[in-house]
Amino acid sequence: MSLDRHWSLSITPLSPVHLGSGQDYEPTGYVIDEGALYEFDGIAALQVLPGQERAKLGKILEGRPTQDMLRQVQSFFHNNRERLIAVSRRCVGVNPSVEAFYKERVGQVVQREDRGREVQNRLEIERTAFNPGSGAPILPGSGIKGAIRTALLDRENDGRPLSPDLKGDRNANLKLQQRLFKYRPGRFELDPMRLIRVGDASAADPAATVTQVRFAVNRKKTEIRVGGKLVDSQAEQRGLYQLLECLSPLQARGFRAQLSIQQSGGIASHHWPDAELRFDAQGIAQACNRFYLPALERERRLLHERGFLDQRWEDALGELLSGPLSSALAENRAFLLRVGRHSGAESVTLNGVRNIKIIKGKGEKPDYLDHSKTIWLAADERLAQRGLLPFGWLLLELHGADEEPTAVTFPQPIDDLDAWRAEVAERRRRMAADLAAARARAAEAEQERLDAERAEAERAARLAQMTAEARKLEALRELLARDQAANRKEKNGELAERLAITLKEAGEGWPSAEASTLADLAEAIYGYIGWPASKKRPQRQAQIAALRAQSGE
C-alpha cells in the first residue's frame, strides 16, 4: 500500500519568468497600441471588419504568399487595430520601447542584403506557457520538478568533481544521475523523483495576472576593454536579441500548485527507490535553498557590480528576502527555484561537475569552464545597459493543502500593474462600445438601404400598372413632395418646368379624368411655388381652364 502526502505551493515570480510554450504571438495575430499587446483570432477579426475592409483584406490575400503579402497583412491589421482591440482575447503589457520597436517595423522591410534581397522584420514574440482553455499563463509542473531535481542531485553530489571514468563519455550526464540517485539503467522505478509529483501552477486570479513583453539581451559578466573601448559580447556584436512574454516580477503569490509525495506505507519492496533518497517536503525545500539561494546572491552581487540591475527591483527583493520571508527560508517553509528560459548554465548544472562550453571567435576552439562568461537579461530596451533584470527566479511557499501561507506583506511590483490593468480594461470597454455603436449604425444604414430598395421596387411595380398620363402625374406629385420637404419654392425650378411641359402635353388630348386631376394638381403646385411672371400667368390659367373644360367640368 502507498499513500500520497500533499502540500500546496504559493508561488511568487521574483523576476521575469519565461517558460516556453512552443507558440508565438504572430504579427498577423496581434496589434500593439498604447502600452498593450492585444491578441485576436482570425474569425473574430473577420466578424468585426466592415464589408469594405473585408474586401480589401481578401484582395491582399488573393496574391502569392510572399513577404510583401505578409507586410501588407500586418499593416492592414495595424490600421484596423481599434476594431481588433474591441474583440481581443488576451492582453500583454508592453513598455514604450517595445511598442516603438513594433511600430517602426510593422509592415516594413528591416533592411536589404548586399544582393538586394529583402529581409523581413521578425516581430514574432515567444509566448510563455499557458492554459489552452483559458489562455491564462501557467508554470508547468515539469519545469518546477526539473529545477527541484537539479537541487537534489547537487545535494547528493556535494561538490564532487566528475569521476575520471565519466569524463569524455557522451552519456556522462545520465550516468551521473543514475549513480547519485542509485538506480541502474532501465530501472526508472528506482529513480526517487518518480515519487514526487508537481502539478501545473495556475494563476491564483487569472484576471489579475499580468505578463509583459521584454527583450532578452546578452551581456558580458566581466567588463573587458580593448584600447579603452568596451568589448561587447558576441551576441551584442551580432545584434542578437529575443522578444519574450514573461511573467511579471513580484506578483505576490500569483500562482498556486500542488506538491505530492508518494509514501511507501512501511512496506518494503525492491521496486522502491533507496530509503535514503525518499525526500520529504522539508528536505526538498532545504536542498533547493542550499543550491539556489547562494546562486541568487552571487548573481545579484555580479549584476550590482556591473551596474546592470534595476535599482527598484534590487531594493524590493532585498527587503523581501531579508525581511518578511527570512525566517520562512531559514526554516525551509519557503524555498527558491530557477526555471525557464535563460536560467543560466550555473543554475542547471551541478557544483563541482559544471563544465560549460565557451564559444570563442570564428575559427577558434571553444573553452570549457565552470562558469559562463555572459548572461542573458530581461530589458525594456534592446541596447539597455541599466535597469536590467535576471530571468527565472521563483519563490515557493510550502504549506498544508487546506491551509493558507503565513501572512506576509510583499513589496509592490516595480511596475504599477493595477493601473495598467484598469487602463487596458477601460480602453477595451470603450473600444467595444464604439464598435457596437458603429455596427448598430451600419445595421441601421443597411436597413434603410433595404427599405429604400423595397420602396423603389414597390414604386416601380405600381408605375408599371399605370397609364402614361398617370405616371406623369405621379412624377409631379413626387417633385412637389420633395420640394415641400426641403421647403424649396422655385418659380423657375425643376417642378415648374416639368409642370409646364405636362400642361402642354395634356392639352393635346389627355383623357378627361387625368385632365381633371392635372388641373387640380397644377393649382396646388402654383399655390405652393407661386404663379409665374405676369405674362405667363394668364397662359397657365388658360391651360388649366382648358383641362377642366376637356374633362366636362
E strand or H helix at 283, and its extent?
Answer: helix 281-306
pLDDT in tens, 211-222: 999 999 999 988
Q: How far apart are CA 186 and CA 87, in angstroms?
A: 52
Residue 310 CA neighbour count, 13 Å, CB half: 22
Tell whether the model's pLDDT for residue 97 goes beyond 60.
Answer: yes
Residue 255 has what pLDDT?
97
Tell whether the model's pLDDT for residue 174 goes beyond 70.
Answer: yes
Beta-carbon contacts of residue 454 (< 8 Å; ≥ 6 apart): none
Classify strands 211-220 and 90-94 as parallel, antiparallel or unpaired. Answer: parallel
Position with higher pLDDT, 225 vs 189: 189
What value does the mean pLDDT take over residues 192-200? 93
Residue 269 has what pLDDT?
64
Tell whether the model's pLDDT for residue 118 goes beyond 70.
Answer: no
Residue 154 has what pLDDT?
94
Q: How far apart are CA 210 and CA 267, in angstroms?
A: 46
Could you tell me which of 405, 133, 376 has the C-alpha nearest to residue 255?
405
pLDDT in tens, 346-375: 888 889 888 767 666 666 777 777 678 899
Percent of the chain with pLDDT over 70: 94
Q: How far apart are CA 450 and CA 67, in angstroms?
A: 41
What value does the mean pLDDT take over residues 376-391? 94
For the chain, the farthest-separated pair of C-alpha atoms sits apart, in whole angstroms, at 131
Residue 115 has what pLDDT?
44
What value does the mean pLDDT take over residues 156-183? 89
Residue 230 has what pLDDT?
72
What value does the mean pLDDT take over residues 261-279? 76
> Mean pLDDT of all residues in the chain?
88
Tell whether the model's pLDDT for residue 276 goes beyond 50.
Answer: yes
C-alpha distances out from residue 384 to 160, 221, 343, 377, 483, Å: 39, 15, 20, 10, 70
pLDDT in tens, 3-46: 788 999 999 999 999 999 999 999 889 999 999 999 998 888 88
Residue 107 has what pLDDT?
79
First to last CA, the chain: 117
Please say whether the beta carbons of 129 and 21 come within 8 A: yes
- Decide: residue 511, CB within 10 A, 0-12 exposed, 13-18 middle, 19+ buried: middle
Tell whether the model's pLDDT for residue 114 goes beyond 50.
Answer: no
- Decide: residue 207, CB within 10 A, 0-12 exposed, 13-18 middle, 19+ buried: exposed
pLDDT in tens, 459-485: 899 888 989 988 988 888 989 899 999
Please say whether the beta carbons of 76 and 56 come within 8 A: yes
φ and ψ of 35, to 5 deg: 85, 15
Question: Residue for cell digits 409642370?
Answer: 499
Helices 512-529 and 494-506: crossing angle, nearest 10°? 150
Tell whether the model's pLDDT for residue 1 goes beyond 80.
Answer: no
Tell whether the model's pLDDT for residue 48 goes beyond 80.
Answer: yes
Q: What are the domain boundaries of the chain? A: 3-26+124-415, 469-553
Residue 111 has what pLDDT?
52
C-alpha distances out from residue 65 to 23, 71, 235, Å: 21, 11, 32
pTM of the model: 0.81
From 19-33, 56-70, 116-130, 148-162, the region with the lowest mean pLDDT: 116-130
Could you tell me which of 380, 365, 370, 367 has the C-alpha nearest to residue 249?
380
